[in-house]
Amino acid sequence: MLVNFNIAGDLANLLLNYLDDNPRDSSFDNLFEKNTAEINALRTRLSQYNANSRMPFTDWWHALDVIAKLYQKPHIGLEVGAYIQPSHCGVLGYLSLSCEYLAEALQRFERFQRLLYEGNEAFTHAEGDLVTFSWPFDYGYSTRESDEVLISSMASYVRMLVGDEALTPTKIGFVHSKPKDIAPYLDILGCDVEFDCKNTYISFPVSMLALKVEKADPALRALLDQQAHALLDVLPNGDHFEQQFYKYVLRAMQDGKPTIDEVARYMNFSARTLHRRLEERGLVFKSMLQRTRQQLAQQYLKEGRLTLSEIALLLGYSEQSAFTRAFKQWLGETPLKFQKRLLNC
């Protein structure tokens, strides 16, 4: 699951830079002192991360959620993403900056993206006159704010690389529902935007790949290539078996058959072999399935973009009532009460 993965500690500075450049105005804030205390607490948490550390996705999501609530901007992720700088991306940022052409920079991004974030990795495909980066959900959904930061930062970074602020993507797609006001999306991203998509994606004209990077440095690129390879080699992979297990549990849930037999079939194991492999790690299929469902249910309810029946289907329940009963057993309250309590916080 995505909640078990991390992102680069450098990205904490992206949020800190946004907070620095956008101080809260007390004249418009009746809860100024309380909100200032929350921002200071957030700064403290973000400051613990650096270039040599990794930030759990859960911390990243929480930080974006706090910022969204404090600034009361439904499109906050787009604004944060527009602040992206090479320093926020570590070695990968400077490596892409040293490439000769945009095509090389995007290839480096695809090759070394795990230095920046783990889990759902982008894949590239060209069709007609468009080249598209899309993010499947092998390890579950991210949050709306996080997806907005991802897409906005990529669009901004491409403009930065080639030194053309007027350059825009051709089309962008988000998995979350269409907001009431899409003007900020059009203003900040500068292109057509789709919602309720199967994958988050960003498309550019193929012709853009031939654009020269403004600060290309072949000698530096060769050195940074070596460094990126070295960092990727020492980056903890976690337990590949567990990552694959979670991936196929999600797939089995979406197919409505979250059983050990079905997951074993996806992994090309017998049910007995999968049971043994889990047992070797002190894990139990039923407990892991329940934990996965619970974590995803809480995340989906917090996002608020799916109905209860849709959540039930995604978690592999045949009926909404079965999901409601299970949720109440986990947390002692119904999904609706849980969601309303979050919204009132």
Tokens of 170: 């051709």
Q: What is the pLDDT of residues 242-285, one digit of tens each?
A: 777 887 888 888 788 899 999 999 888 999 999 998 988 888 99
- Is the predicted pLDDT of residue 239 greater than 70, yes or no? no
Would residue 143 be called left, alpha or beta, if left means φ above 0 and alpha means ψ between -120 and 50 degrees?
A: beta
Nearest CA-CA partner of 226 in 114, 306, 112: 112
3-state secondary structure of 344: coil
Structural domain span for residue 153: 2-234
320 shares a domain with 185? no
* Angle made by CA atoms 100, 103, 107, in degrees to the nearest 5: 105
Written as one string, the DSSP assignment of 48-87 is T--TT-EEEHHHHHHHHHHHHHHHT-TTHHHHHHTT--GG
Q: Rounding to the nearest 10 degrees, give the CA dihedral for residues 227, 228, 232, 234.
A: 20
- Can you tell me the distance from the alpha carbon of 1 to that of 8, in angstroms, rounded to the nearest whole number? 18
**Mean pLDDT of the region 91-103:** 94
Tokens of 345: 């916080």
Contact 174, 195 (CB under 8 A): yes
Task: Note the pLDDT of residue 233.
Answer: 78
- Give the residue from 234, 262, 296 where a domain finishes: 234
**pTM exceeds 0.85, yes or no:** no
- Give the residue from 218, 234, 250 where a domain finishes: 234
110 shares a domain with 12? yes
- Give the residue from 234, 253, 274 where a domain finishes: 234
Tokens of 260: 């050990």
Contact 169, 191 (CB under 8 A): yes
Domain count, the chain: 2
Cα–chain center distance at 287: 26
Task: Note the pLDDT of residue 271.
Answer: 92
Give the pLDDT band (50/70/90) at residue 29: low
| Summary mean pLDDT of the chain | 88
3-state secondary structure of 210: helix
3-state secondary structure of 270: coil
89 shares a domain with 162? yes
188 shares a domain with 282? no
DSSP code of 139?
Answer: T
Tokens of 216: 């290309």
244 shares a domain with 226? no
Residue 171 bridge partners (DSSP)? 192, 203
The CATH number of whichever domain residue 273 belongs to comes to: 1.10.10.60
125 shares a domain with 203? yes
Could you identify the residue written with the tokens 């440095």?
Answer: 217
